[in-house]
Structure 1
Amino acid sequence: MKSLFKKAALALSLATLAAAAGAQDFPAGKPITAVVPFAAGGPTDKVAREIAQIMGKQLNTTIVVDNSGGAGGTIGARKVVQARNDGYTILIHHIGMATAPSLYRNLGFDPLKDLEMVGEIADVPMVLLGSKALPAKNFKELLPYIKANAKSISLANAGVGSASHLCGLLFQSAIQQELVTVPYKGTAPALTDLMGGQVNLMCDQTTNVAGQVKSGAIQSYAAMQSKRIEAFKDIPTAAEQGLPGIEVKIWHAMYAPKGTPKAVVDKLSAALQAAVADPGFRAKMAELGAEAVPPARAKPESLRAHVDAEIRKWSPVIKAAGVYAD
């Protein structure tokens, strides 16, 4: 019996040593797959591809983006939850990681318990947009117009649980007015209909609408945060225009499967911290109207605290709206 225990202990020790050696060598030239739980070309995909390119150089390997969309980002997230915990599969997700526990009553995983935190990547501001056909030409004109025509004002979003949906919920709550919500299967068709005048309003990320905003193809009513957006300083905030208290930033972050060795998580986080400080990455994010986080936020402990706080923030908003995605 003692011999059996000794063999088991030896096998465990060897396995531990092998894992430690593997962690030290990581990534050993092997490519890393970054799962993005949304379609290619979307806001999260744009952030992911930029950070993957720079992190790959830091780690001396290639980071390949895998777009596994569907169900508000939960399909891709589950894919990573169930992946091997060796560091070669990571997840790049947005604020949906914190809202999914309230939107999905049968989510199947706990963001705080079933994933390892790597760090935050970037914050993307939201802008309230309107069709050019709307007679209200600024935010101060828009609010009374909404009050007078609420039953016929349509508010588009990219689907339940999307960033545009969450921003829309907060906007309706702030003005205490329910609008005609029109969900789409993605941002692209919603934006197309907004530009065509088929819907009236939409709230979306600057990374997705920078071109349309700058060209004047749609109206820009308000920056949905406490300060003006650096790349769009001509768009006043909602607070400046009489509606304080709206703060919607769509943050993006990186995760690894639960049980990924600490040494591997630390290497990923160190590469992420270097990447968010990279002048090229920061300039690219600014070009899109986004903001790379400071390196102090690209750490596991910072991300864990942030996800926890965001779950607490959005849970009552979603429950009050009575909206579920399942």
Structure 2
Amino acid sequence: MISTKRWLAAAVAATAALTLPALTLAQAFPAKPVKIVVPYPPGGTNDIVVRLLAQKLGDSMGQPFVVENKPGASGNLGAEQVARAAPDGYTLLLVTTGHSIHPSLYKHLRYNIKTDLTPVSELTRGPMLVMVTPSLPYKTVQDVIAAAKAKPGSINFGSAGNGSSTHLATELLSSMAGVKMTHIPYSGSAPAMADVMAGNAQLVMDLMFSALPQVNGGKLRAIAITGAKRSPLLPGVPTVAESGVPGFETLAWNGLMAPANTPKPIIDKLNAEIHKALDAPEMKERLRAQGFEPSPGTPEQFGALIRAEIDRWATVVKTSGAKVE
């Protein structure tokens, strides 16, 4: 009995010895500036969200949170960099819907989002708008579906590029509506919307943040929103599900990840501070005004979302035949 008690005491002491350094490390964290890698050019929707958050985190945690833009390879270049960084909490990565598409789209990724990175927290979610050229007679999604059924392939839709979230979201809509539309890839959302405004393509999906100025200016007509409910920013625009495609819903999301094996106490500390920042009334107001909904959760919840999205978009990639040249 005595030996058993001694063994248990030794085991508890050993566990405490292993846990204590991580806890001490988390208590001291951050002791220097923290870098958030945004794998896209500056000025975009995700970049704006991160810069708002970085300011809040820096104020609350006593060290600067520095945003570093690392564009390239559709967001994969920055992801590779962070996947190889030291797992100490001082290098974080902004991930988006696109990162859950890439495992099924790229044959030779140089990082594995499931094993080389660990979730910290989801940040925001936001619906996209389905928009058409205002000079066209299409006022609803059903009008577009009817035209596509009458003449398959006659509706051209633009996207931010092959395999982009805007491309695959439109392919998902086509599949669920039982129609065939012709995809025209562009080198980003802005040229895709510009060509629809010019009438060279007829339909495009994009985030509300990017699309609202064009819709409010009358340059594009919003016929549906991809979320489960209408947006207070455009209350007269119905959801796709309301418009005759029941069950359709897709949201663009973003969040932060860290290199795999980053100590859990540090992950938990970052997660708690992100919750606090996104719960601030002024942050909610600024994000919602741009079409984003703050959506922080636990690291485990964010990991579950990423895995579910990987599976979901793999099906759409396969069905659509999307490829990256």
Amino acid in the other structure paired with 1:40: P
2:304 equivalent in structure 1 = 305
1:157 paired residue among 150, 156, 159: 159
Displacement of 1:70: 2.1
Give the superposed CA RMSD: 2.1
The question of 1:138 aligning with 2:137 is answered: no
Q: TM-score, normalised by structure 2?
A: 0.89
Displacement of 1:121: 0.5
Distance in structure 2 (CA, Å) of the matches to 1:131 and 1:39: 27
2:80 equivalent in structure 1 = 78
Matches within 5 A, 1:106-125: 106-125=108-127
2:269 equivalent in structure 1 = 267
State the identity as a percent: 36
* 1:289 aligned counterpart, secondary structure: coil
Distance in structure 1 (CA, Å) of the matches to 2:301 and 2:284: 20
- Structure 2: give runs of 5+ residues left out of the alignment: 1-16
Aligned length: 310
Displacement of 1:152: 3.1
Contact 2:128 2:225 in 1 (8 A): yes
Contact 2:240 2:249 in 1 (8 A): no
Distance in structure 2 (CA, Å) of the matches to 1:216 and 1:50: 29
Amino acid in the other structure paired with 2:306: V
Displacement of 1:16: 9.2
Displacement of 1:50: 1.8
Distance in structure 2 (CA, Å) of the matches to 1:323 and 1:148: 24
Displacement of 1:35: 0.9
1:212 equivalent in structure 2 = 214
Displacement of 1:151: 2.9
Distance in structure 1 (CA, Å) of the matches to 2:52 and 2:216: 22
Distance in structure 1 (CA, Å) of the matches to 2:42 and 2:179: 34
2:30 equivalent in structure 1 = 27
* 2:190 aligned counterpart, secondary structure: helix
Amino acid in the other structure paired with 1:26: F
* 1:87 aligned counterpart, secondary structure: coil
Matches within 5 A, 1:1-326: 21-28=24-31, 30-293=32-295, 297-325=296-324
* 1:111 aligned counterpart, secondary structure: coil
Contact 2:147 2:155 in 1 (8 A): no
Distance in structure 2 (CA, Å) of the matches to 1:214 and 1:174: 29
Displacement of 1:15: 11
Contact 2:129 2:226 in 1 (8 A): yes
Displacement of 1:51: 1.7
Worse overlay, 137-146 or 170-179: 137-146
Distance in structure 2 (CA, Å) of the matches to 1:176 and 1:237: 18
Distance in structure 1 (CA, Å) of the matches to 2:162 and 2:287: 26
C-alpha change, 1:242 and 1:84, in structure 2 (3 Å) is same
Distance in structure 2 (CA, Å) of the matches to 1:134 and 1:76: 40
Displacement of 1:175: 2.0
Amino acid in the other structure paired with 1:191: M
Distance in structure 2 (CA, Å) of the matches to 1:27 and 1:175: 50
Over 6 Å off, 4+ runs? 14-19
Distance in structure 2 (CA, Å) of the matches to 1:53 and 1:161: 32
Distance in structure 1 (CA, Å) of the matches to 2:215 and 2:63: 36
Amino acid in the other structure paired with 2:167: H
Contact 2:149 2:180 in 1 (8 A): no
Amino acid in the other structure paired with 2:114: L
Amino acid in the other structure paired with 1:189: P
C-alpha change, 1:138 and 1:17, in structure 2 (3 Å) is closer
- Structure 1: give runs of 5+ residues left out of the alignment: 1-13
* 1:105 aligned counterpart, secondary structure: coil
Displacement of 1:321: 1.6
Contact 2:148 2:180 in 1 (8 A): no
Amino acid in the other structure paired with 1:27: P
Distance in structure 2 (CA, Å) of the matches to 1:160 and 1:71: 12
